[in-house]
Amino acid sequence: MSVAVSESPVLVTGVTGFLGRAVTRRLLGSGRPVLALARARDGRDARTRVAAAVGREPDGRSLDVVEAGLDGDGAPRHPAASRRLAAVETVIHCAGDTSFFPADVAVFRAGHLAGPLALLRALAGMRLRRWAHVSTAYVAGQRSGTVREDEGDVGQTFHNVYERVKLEAETAMRAAGRTLGIDVRVLRPSIVVGAAPATTGGAPAHLFFDFVRLLAGLASARGSRDGDLRIAARPRAPFNIVPVDYVAAAIHVLAEAPGAAGGAFHLVAAAPPTQEQVLAMLLDRLGARGVRVVEAVDLAAPSALECRVARWLAPYREYLEQDIHFDASAARALLDRAGVPAPVLDARALGALVDVALARPASPVEVSCPAS
């Protein structure tokens, strides 16, 4: 279904990243012009980088590029850039640093707060009407149980700087939108997975695919007399990964759907399976056995390999130990109407992800599991 509000270009940020490029491809595929805001980097200008990410040369009409960063003032000043920005009614803001513990918190905050705020203010003086802000379901921080989409800051604590600043950014963008008369809508994916081998960024997707390759490697390396390999997590907690294709389709709809004005939306798997169910489906697909998820307290006397696997998963350990359910009623009501089916994480869907992961053979490092 088409959700085009007008033929004005959609300004997309983060086009050179994992999510931004999927959203851009989706918009272009639906015939919607895109104005990509991207920065020059590593000796390559923004235009070259966008062309490489999207797989299409910018032609100045269906795909155009404005070169700018979002590191502070965030608003491109070149007169030609301003002319192109003047036509923009919708922004889909996908840019963002996904480091959990950034080395320079001030720079990280500027990229998530000052830069996008400056861009919002600059565009609000032109034709901008709506800003679709890609956040994360994990603004819920360390909460457990069910989290509703209309909840934001409820006094939760956080696992890391990333979650805290993402919530601050949601709050600041909404407040600025109210002042400026711009409809700010917030889109919160959980952990997005997709064709990681072909992308840069997309850190959790890479980890998931590495994990699948690790399982495949262990399956072929372990003998029948080896005991089970235990992974400490929460076996019965939901495992909420969501395919990038669903996230891009949902963002495409929710960025401009009139019913989404001012809302917040969880972009997550429907009725996600538990961690032990996911592991069982992955092992089944790989024809492997002998790996179990156990409660951390039950992991007595871990073997050297179990310790190495635990260290390898350490950046995501707290997420694996969290028992949280993201209610997605508001997103699903609009997406059902738009004909975007809920993503189901069943054996077939996981099998397809296994195929993507195994398209690249496991490296010896993945199979042996790095020591740190």
Ligand X SMILES: NC(=O)c1ccc[n+]([C@@H]2O[C@H](COP(=O)([O-])OP(=O)(O)OC[C@H]3O[C@@H](n4cnc5c(N)ncnc54)[C@H](OP(=O)(O)O)[C@@H]3O)[C@@H](O)[C@H]2O)c1
User: Which chain residues interact with ligand X by CB under 6 A?
Assistant: 14, 16-20, 39, 41, 69-71, 94-98, 111, 115, 134, 136, 166, 189, 191-192, 201-202, 204
Interatomic CA distance for residues 249 and 76, integer angstroms: 28
- Is residue 55 a contact partner of residue 25, using CB atoms and an 8 Å limit? yes
CB of 5 to ligand X, least distance (A): 23
Interatomic CA distance for residues 267 and 254, integer angstroms: 10
| 25 vs 230, beta carbon nearer ligand X | 25
Burial of 4 (0-12, 13-18, 19+ CB in 10 A): middle
The closest residue (CB) to ligand X is 201
> DSSP letter string over 65-90?
EEE---SSS-----HHHHHHHTT--E
CB of 80 to ligand X, least distance (A): 19
CB of 53 to ligand X, least distance (A): 8
| 53 vs 233, beta carbon nearer ligand X | 53
| 9 vs 17, beta carbon nearer ligand X | 17
| 187 vs 291, beta carbon nearer ligand X | 187
CB of 351 to ligand X, least distance (A): 21
CB of 189 to ligand X, least distance (A): 4
In a 3-state reduction of DSSP, which class is residue 243?
Answer: strand
CB of 299 to ligand X, least distance (A): 27
Q: Considering only CA atoms, which of 40, 98, 97 is closest in space to residue 69? A: 40
- For residue 77, the tally of other CB atoms under 10 A from its CB is 9
Distances (CA, A) of 61 to 57, 84, 217: 11, 10, 47
| 260 vs 283, beta carbon nearer ligand X | 260
User: What are the tokens at 140?
Assistant: 């819920």
Interatomic CA distance for residues 322 and 325, integer angstroms: 10
Rounded to the nearest 5 percent, the helix, strand and coil shares of the chain are 45, 15, 40
What are the residues whose beta carbons fall under 8 Å from the beta carbon of 84, sequence distance 6 or more? 9, 35, 64, 66
- Is residue 273 a contact partner of residue 347, using CB atoms and an 8 Å limit? no
| 102 vs 217, beta carbon nearer ligand X | 102
CB of 196 to ligand X, least distance (A): 10
Backbone angles phi, psi at 111, to 5 degrees: -65, -30
CB of 12 to ligand X, least distance (A): 10
| 193 vs 283, beta carbon nearer ligand X | 193
| 21 vs 230, beta carbon nearer ligand X | 21
| 48 vs 368, beta carbon nearer ligand X | 48
CB of 125 to ligand X, least distance (A): 21
